[in-house]
Chain A
Amino acid sequence: MSAAPEVPGTVAPAPAAAQRGKAPPRLRGEWPLVGHLQELRRRPIELFARVRRECGEIGELNFAGSRVVLLSGEEAQEAFFRGSDEQLDQAAAYPFMTPIFGRGVLFDATPEQRKQGLRNQSLRDSFMRGHAEVIAAETQRMMAKLGDEGAVDLLDFFSELTLYTSSACLVGKGFREELTPEYFRVFYELEKGTDAIAYVNPYLPLPAFRQRDRARRRLVELLSGVFARRASAPREKRELFDVLLSLRQPDGSARFSVDQITGMFISMMFAGHHTTSGTAAWTLIELLRHPDAGARVVAELDALYADGREVSYQALREIPQLESAIKEALRLHPPLILLMRKVMSDFHYKEWTVPAGKLVAVSPAISNRMPECFPDPDRYDLDRYAEGREEDARLFAWIPFGAGRHRCVGAAFAMMQLKAIFSTLLRDYAFELAQPAESYRNDHSKMVVQLAQPCRARYRRRAAAASP
């Protein structure tokens, strides 16, 4: 089905080729049974780069029997992102997520139900100003806890902060007050449970999977306590989960169990937690690695906030240098390095056909550094986003948020959140790296990318803070 609603000015999608084409070339270096899985678990970005180098814009990988066809280049990626839900399905492509979300959540839903889910009202533009205020206040609260001077681990710091900001904005302020640092540690264990060995079987008795399941049980336990306490809250103080928990079936039994609500909480947080947290950390690390860029951003913020205006106002407007710094961190260190879809009916691209049943994939890590779209791609350069260049306007090449109809629905929220966090942090504090600049790196051993620890930075309150 390609039934885009009939709207004046609609750009019609190109008709797909009808006849069956060649099979995509297979990447060399498959091991018996596991295929390229070990390479995926050790050096995923290098593996994807090898596909582009050795096979070209299309090449097939083998993840322990799951056949994944990697598309790269602006044109092939556009074909991927324009695929309809009925042809390319997201749900079946991420087996490592099911044990984390639990049954009956998100990826069990039909495409139609998932479309409804896109309408998360709290992500609507009209709510953003209130969110910006909450985020600025949470950032100040974190720093107040830390004092005027010291050092933080960037993974822990931004994981904790973004857990509070996301839950306060997306669930409710009352719920956020129930959260403690234990929650972000539990989330970290869940995120570490995304080992690609899940392509063999996501329930193997491995330490990472046992920790994942223990973390999920602990989260259900913690949230049961929260909901029990909140059950006595007055009606007008009730928030999203309180309402969902109070829903009854016709026979009087509960519509949703605490286990299911926990799954919803995990799925809401998962999309916006490690992704925003990692991007915040990389934005700061890159600004500290490039002091000229750092000075430009701080000068811009000082000028903007010199008149004492509120972060909640400014974070919704343009902050060009800071936005460029966030975009450049996203380009060089995209939080998701592989986007996948299951092929539901034969997918044709140029002379090739990918038959139903296989997976197709695109790698933001490869795309964001294609030299034909991003000249001198490994160079950190804020001017890429300046008027006249606007390299992020290449919608199917600059893809840290994906593209097309499944582009991250939280992208605008994430940008606003990062602008509010850095407006607050860089206005009041100066930061410096606490270890060699080249020692900061991502840990790619799991499908969820995390900053590798240690990743420390020092901070101290600025003498002449711009706020009045």
Chain B
Amino acid sequence: MMRIRVDMDLCQGHAVCKEEAPAVFAVDATSNRVVVLAERPDESLRAEVRRAVKFCPTRAIRLEED
């Protein structure tokens, strides 16, 4: 199963993940950092989650399998 890990020291709130996978990521307006809506997203979202990981400008997101 997919598990999303975010390194908050790296996130700058560019919101690319939100554009790629809106069901999984949001950006908090106050902290300007990512909010993970689904830490273990559904398998059907795999392609867009991978794009979010790949195109994150600060490479703050990791995808683990367990």
Cα of A118 to Cα of B27 in the assembled complex, Å: 14
Residue of chain A at shortest CB distance from B5:
A9
User: Is B16 on the interface with A (CB-CB < 8 A)?
Assistant: yes
State whether B57 touches A7 (Cβ < 8 A): no
Cα of A409 to Cα of B5 in the assembled complex, Å: 21
Q: Which of B1-17 contact A (CB under 8 A)?
A: 3-16
State whether B32 touches A10 (Cβ < 8 A): no
Q: Which of B27-53 contact A (CB under 8 A)?
A: 28, 31-36, 39
Q: Mark A117-154, 1 if CB is under 8 A from B, else 0.
A: 01100011110000000000000000000000000000
Q: Which residues of B contact A355 (CB under 8 A)?
A: none
Q: Mark A375-412, 1 if CB is under 8 A from B, else 0.
A: 00000000000000000010100000001110101011
Given contacts A115-B32, A119-B32, A393-B59, contact A409 B12 (CB under 8 A): yes
**Number of interface residues, chain A, beta carbon within 8 A:** 26
Please tell me which one of the listed residues A4, A7, A118, A123 contacts residue B9 in the complex, with CB atoms under 8 A apart.
A4
Q: How far is the CB of B36 from chain A (nearest CB, A)?
A: 5
State whether A5 touches B8 (Cβ < 8 A): yes
State whether B36 touches A395 (Cβ < 8 A): no
Q: Which residues of A contact B8 (CB under 8 A)?
A: 4-5, 7, 10-11
State whether B12 touches A405 (Cβ < 8 A): yes
User: Is A82 on the interface with B (CB-CB < 8 A)?
Assistant: yes
Q: Which residues of B contact A357 (CB under 8 A)?
A: none
Cα of A405 to Cα of B39 in the assembled complex, Å: 22
Cα of A82 to Cα of B34 in the assembled complex, Å: 17
State whether A125 touches B14 (Cβ < 8 A): yes
User: Is A104 on the interface with B (CB-CB < 8 A)?
Assistant: no
Q: Which residues of B contact A404 (CB under 8 A)?
A: 9-10
Q: Which residues of A contact B15 (CB under 8 A)?
A: 124-126
State whether A125 touches B6 (Cβ < 8 A): no
State whether A126 touches B19 (Cβ < 8 A): yes
Cα of A9 to Cα of B36 in the assembled complex, Å: 8
Give the interface centre of A11, A403, A409 by most chain B CB atoms within 10 Å. A11
State whether B5 touches A412 (Cβ < 8 A): no
Q: Which residues of A contact B5 (CB under 8 A)?
A: 9-11
Cα of A404 to Cα of B7 in the assembled complex, Å: 9
State whether A125 touches B19 (Cβ < 8 A): yes
Q: Which residues of A contact B6 (CB under 8 A)?
A: 7, 9-11
Q: How far is the CB of B1 from chain A (nearest CB, A)?
A: 13
Given contacts A125-B14, A125-B15, A407-B58, contact A5 B31 (CB under 8 A): yes
Cα of A210 to Cα of B36 in the assembled complex, Å: 52
Residue of chain B at shortest CB distance from A5:
B31
User: Is A308 on the interface with B (CB-CB < 8 A)?
Assistant: no
Q: Which residues of A contact B19 (CB under 8 A)?
A: 125-126
Q: How far is the CB of A88 from chain B (nearest CB, A)?
A: 12
Q: Which residues of B contact A82 (CB under 8 A)?
A: 9
Residue of chain B at shortest CB distance from A119:
B32
Cα of A126 to Cα of B27 in the assembled complex, Å: 14
Q: Which residues of B contact A411 (CB under 8 A)?
A: 57
State whether B3 touches A9 (Cβ < 8 A): yes
Given contacts A126-B19, A407-B58, contact A7 B36 (CB under 8 A): yes
Give the interface centre of A7, A9, A11 by most chain B CB atoms within 10 Å. A9
Residue of chain A at shortest CB distance from B38:
A8
State whether B33 touches A7 (Cβ < 8 A): yes
State whether B36 touches A8 (Cβ < 8 A): yes
| Closest 8 A/B residue pairs (Cβ) | A4-B8, A8-B39, A412-B57, A9-B5, A11-B7, A9-B39, A82-B9, A10-B8
Residues of B within 8 A of A (CB): 3-16, 19, 28, 31-36, 39, 57-59
Residues of A within 8 A of B (CB): 4-5, 7-11, 13, 81-82, 115, 118-119, 123-126, 393, 395, 403-405, 407, 409, 411-412
10 residue pairs bridging A and B, Cβ less than 8 Å apart? A5-B31, A7-B8, A9-B39, A10-B7, A11-B5, A115-B32, A125-B16, A126-B15, A405-B9, A412-B57
